[in-house]
Amino acid sequence: MSSLTTAPMDPKELRPLLHAEVDRLRDENLLVLHRVALELELDEVTERLNEGFDADRAAGKLARLPEIIREARAALRTRQAP
């Protein structure tokens, strides 16, 4: 990955260089790279979810959550009863 050591930091310039690097990778390394990309995506999604829950918690939106869950479960049980 020699071009990555001198790669520009601008994502618009870096993206084509990374595509070229991917094209040169051995097949077994593609699997590793794919796994790394999935882990990065998972980290981003987890961070966004955590931020959203933290904001909702701070706004008091989750305070009634246990009560809402109990009510929903009770309503489901009532609907399922013969």
- Read off the pLDDT band of 81 (50, 70, 90): confident
| Residue recorded with tokens 């595509």 | 19
- Read off the pLDDT band of 80 (50, 70, 90): confident
Stated as kind and residue range, the H or E segment containing 33 is helix 27-58
**Residues near 3 by beta carbon (within 8 Å), at least 6 away in sequence:** 17, 20, 21
Amino acid 9: pLDDT: 85
- List pLDDT tens digits, range 7-41: 678 999 999 999 999 999 999 999 999 999 999 99
pTM above 0.75, yes or no: no
Q: Are 39 and 19 in contact (CB under 8 A)?
A: no
Q: Are 21 and 1 in contact (CB under 8 A)?
A: yes
Average pLDDT, the chain: 90
Task: Determine the average pLDDT of the residues in 53-60.
Answer: 93
